[in-house]
Amino acid sequence: MYLDQLGFVRGVKFGVRKRLRTPSAKVFEAVASYIDVKEYSRKSRTHVNKLETSENITLCKKVSKSAVAKSEQPNLTRRNQINEQNPESGTNINPKGASVTTTRLINRIWGEYYSNFVSRESKRDNGPATRKRKACRDKTEGEKDVKISKQKKYGSDDMWMPYCPFRKKRSGCRRKTRWDGEAIGVTSNGSALYEGVFISGSLVSIGSVVLVEKTHLNRDSSICFVEYMFEASNERKIVHGRVMVGGFETVLGNNANKRELCLTNDCIDFEPSEVIESLVVKMKQTPWGYQHRKDNEDNDIDERERAEERRMKGLATEYFCRTLYCPEKGAFFSLKTGLMGLGSGYCHSCNARVSHEKNDFTVCTSMKSFTYQGVQYNVLDFLYLSPQYLMENQEGKKTVLNGQHQKPKAYVVCQLLGLEVSCSLKQSSPESVKIKVQRFFRPEDISAQNAYVSDIQEIYYSKKIESVPVMAVEGRCEVRKKEDFEFMDSPYIYEHTFFCQFIYDVENQSLELLPSHFKLSSSKGSLGQKAAGRKTKKKQMITKGGSAKTTNGGKEKAAINALTTLDIFAGCGGLSEGLEKSGVSVTKWAIESEETAAESFKLNHPDAITIVNDCNMVLRDIMMANGDANDCIPTSEVHSLASKHDNKEIKHMPRPGEVDLIIGGPPCQAQ
């Protein structure tokens, strides 16, 4: 917790949240008596140490009782007042939060992170020795800056040995290489394929993993999985490999195992003489599913023990690879080992890339359609365009001062009217071919007031025609009139569908209602006729009781595709309600420690199972009930409170594999 320069403690409300007067000496004395103040000045209100959560609660109570004005006390003591109003209940309806319960994995990650922080803090000393060390440090600061910059670029030595930038450089002489045996086949270009190559007496074969002196991703070296090797027409020996990256270079960061490698779809060709060394890498197939979790954990333990044993014996580090990493998606996929290291001149990654490039851009000979990034677009289709290609949205060229936030702009909705090809179809590209589009405007394009009062899916029709390159296209969408938009059945098709009921006059900057006879046409036919057909069909499906089957069918479809959700810190259920209305999730379980908020949640979500308790105790009980006691690390406080807890509620809580989505907060959001 800090003392804010505006005169209030962050996390503790002193009345309304606005600029307040400077706290009196009594207020500061009350705060200072419960925290370790390093330094304080009446003028600057400087640094005050952080507090743990439990200390924050104590501080709030002490300050509210001793130093806060009477007009400000209700906001601080409301919880105590509520509890005092229920003396007969014998229970605290707003219990104090328990200490966190963790799994061993989370405990280890937190422990490593905070141990580094504590070790740095413990080394601080304000004595003469520190000043002497500082003087010595200033003399060598230039040399250390170079070393630190390299460590940031490559990672520290103990994290990633193959990428160590301080490796001794080889001499300039080229190493001798020779093929292992005779050719085993030929590539599609007629080049001879080989099974292995000797590099200064060491054999590198197909399926090996090597460290190559090849620049990739701003590194001086790369790790490659050998797919195949061949002899080029000029008798050069070439190895084709797929690049591998360390787990810490992915979205996992330092949470990844320092010996884990991930395969990528990036490929490079290199000569055998560029190989620095061979690496010991084990390709693993990890079964997916909660039922395999314990077996996978046992295998990981055995693997760590084997790695430690190799280290003690002085053997080379054994790395492992179990996933394909796609950085553009931030996703990991199972390895297709059956398509790896075939040695036949076939590379699955290159083949997929070539297939994608073939379908990347083509123009139909009739000039009525084109294919871009695997999607076919026809004349009269509605498109998303990148805003940077339209004149009205060139605000990015303006100078942005430091501290100012430049908001990203939404895609511009347009209708495709035709193509403009200035060269032959064979030479056409997304940069050279232009498309003629009719522009639609969003409310925020007109004014902030329009954006505030309009629906997020509303757009305005206009007669403005634009010409942009094909590379501006970002996707496809649908546009309908307002009366047609209301008859859509499922919430899922709202995502890329917009409605229009106004015409925007660009010259006069005015809005007018669309004429009743106006029709929006698309490549699939008249949208008005389709809407009328849906309306007639809906009327025919209305039962005698007056209920429409289409509505129930839409809900049933949503329930089938929605994610089963557990809401933690559920509050009154505002976040759950929003996700359910969007069709994303169905809330089946909720945990809330505040009894009054939990009662509201039950009213908003009557079909959900709501538990009024601390989530740390619930997690402990669920793990104990499912045989995960060895993986659970609760505090003694949680143990003591859990022993008094009614286990009947735990029987209704989800089991491993039943939850698709976990959400949390904001706790105070009500309906």
Reference 604, options 652, 570, 635; nearest CA is 570
Question: Do the beta carbons of residue 34 and residue 21 sit within 8 Å?
Answer: no
H/E stretch holding 62 reads helix 53-66
Residues near 191 by beta carbon (within 8 Å), at least 6 away in sequence: 230, 231, 232, 233, 345
CA distances from 256 to 288, 331, 583 (A): 18, 14, 34
Sign of the alpha-carbon torsion through 139, 140, 146, 149: negative
Reference 588, options 663, 666, 490, 669; nearest CA is 663
Phi, psi of 109 (to 5 degrees): -65, -45
Q: Which residue has the tokens 């010409």?
A: 467
**Burial classification of residue 206, based on how many CB atoms lie within 10 Å of its CB (0-12 exposed, 13-18 middle, 19 or more buried):** buried
Sign of the alpha-carbon torsion through 655, 656, 660, 663: positive
| Long-range Cβ contact pairs of 94-99 (< 8 A, separation 24 or more) | 94/593, 94/594, 94/595, 94/596, 95/593, 95/614, 96/57, 97/53, 97/593, 97/614, 97/616, 98/614, 98/616, 98/617, 98/635, 98/637, 98/638, 98/641, 99/616, 99/635, 99/637, 99/638
Sign of the alpha-carbon torsion through 539, 540, 543, 549: negative
> Catalytic: 668?
yes
Cα of 597 vs its chain's centroid, Å: 30
Question: Do the beta carbons of residue 585 and residue 576 sit within 8 Å?
Answer: yes
- 78 vs 596: CA distance, rounded Å: 14
Helix axes 73-84, 53-66, angle to 10 degrees: 100
Spot the catalytic one: 136, 164, 173, 668. 668
- 61 vs 266: CA distance, rounded Å: 58
Sign of the alpha-carbon torsion through 337, 339, 344, 349: negative
CB atoms within 10 A of CB 341: 19
Q: Tell me the β-bridge partners of 522.
A: 525
Catalytic residues, by residue number, are 668
